[in-house]
Amino acid sequence: MNKSSIKIIAGKHKGKVLHMDLLPNTRPTKSIVKESLFNTLQDDIKNKTLIEVFAGYGSVGFEAYSRGAKKVIFIEKDPNSFSILINNINLFDSNHLVAYNRDSMLFLEQICNSEEFDILYIDPPFCLDYDEIFALLSKINLNNKLIIFEHISSFAMPQNLNNLNLYKSRKFGRTALSYYS
């Protein structure tokens, strides 16, 4: 494993170093993508609960927490990535960071129905069939929620997810962010 690290870009934990390994199943969100994400969200992250789906090492969730999110819930199936995620949670003295070592495709509906949340950040493996995720999202009440989808930029995202409309999409090389509300 190739050990590396990522830093929190801004907020109360700016500069805090998070652990990561360059594992074959994990594709950390690039800094330029995170900067764009949080430039778009700005103060809309404050006092909100974010669920990071397919969390990997949790870099988006930790950035959200640093910028004022009141709670972050991480879902990560891979045991190696989850172990690193737990190490990262332990860097913070907080009970507002919760992680589940579960398959996002099997657990997302359950967590969304049992937890209050405001923002769903979905960053599936680029090889995953997005239609499976869209079908799963159709079973979840997304009223008054913000859904942010990190996806391969060559994929044309639908104009609507459930009752939510695509209001912004931005490309960064092979990666894109699409926002639904």
Looking at residue 1, what is its pLDDT? Answer: 40
Which pLDDT value is given to residue 128? 80
Is 152 within 8 Å of 174 (Cβ atoms)? yes
Domain spans of the chain, in order of start: 2-180
Look at residues 72, 10, 15, 13 and name the one whose alpha carbon lies nearest to residue 47. Answer: 72
Half-sphere exposure at residue 124, Cβ-oriented, CA atoms within 13 angstroms = 20
Query: For tokens 């900067």, what's the residue?
Result: 35
pLDDT, position 126: 74
Tokens linked to 156: 């044309």
- Residue-level pLDDT at 60: 96
- Beta-bridged to residue 170, according to DSSP, are 177
Low-confidence ranges of the chain (pLDDT < 50): 1-2
In this prediction, residue 25 carries a pLDDT of 59
CB hemisphere CA count around 20 (13 angstroms): 24
The predicted pLDDT at position 24 comes to 56
Q: Domain 2-180 has what CATH class?
A: alpha beta
